A = this chain, B = another copy of it.
Amino acid sequence: MGDKPTLNPRHNKAEVFARLRDAHAREVTEDYVEMIGDLINEEGEARSVALAERFGVTAATVNNTIKRLERDGFVTSRPYRSIFLTEKGETLAKKCRDRHQIVYNFLVSIGVDPDTAEFDAEGIEHHVSEETLRVFESAISS
């Protein structure tokens, strides 16, 4: 109290939170394109019902989200048919899958239980900057 804090920490906290809000706005998109890619790889196609089952949400929710992804150019879809990634979607999916794997591997490498790592990585991945990701990467291979 009394005087101004004048300590070292960034006085511009607002930047930090603006970036955080940005990351949040991308999370669902990132998880969806990654999952759609997984489904195409594993099962040959991505159906709404499989997305709903894997995310643990209703079919209606998946439908809304897919419409948003389509609007934003990440997927294409036709009524009652399966879902495809656009180029843009595939690019994002690959980036997210790689990042996810690095985060997961890093957590396991420092001694986190694989089961716990799977939970934590799903959230952490969206908040890891390129720089931190590279640090994680080199920590794994050392």
Binding site for B on A (CB under 8 A): 1, 5, 9-10, 13-20, 23-24, 27, 31, 35, 41-44, 53-57, 107, 110-113, 115-120, 122-124, 126-129, 131-132, 135-136, 139
Report the nearest B residue to A117, measured CB to CB: B132
20 inter-chain pairs at a CB distance below 8 angstroms, sorted by A residue, are A1-B43, A10-B115, A13-B56, A14-B56, A16-B118, A16-B119, A17-B31, A17-B54, A17-B56, A17-B57, A18-B56, A20-B123, A24-B24, A107-B132, A110-B136, A111-B135, A116-B132, A117-B132, A119-B129, A124-B124
Chain A facing B: main interface SS: helix
Q: Which residues of chain B have C-beta atoms less than 8 A from A128's C-beta? A: 120, 124
Q: Kindly report how many copies of this chain are found in the complex they form together.
A: 2
Q: A9-B118, A42-B5 are in contact. Are A113 and B126 (CB under 8 A)?
A: no
**A120-B128, A124-B124 given. 7 additional CB < 8 A pairs?**
A16-B118, A17-B57, A20-B123, A24-B27, A107-B135, A123-B126, A124-B127
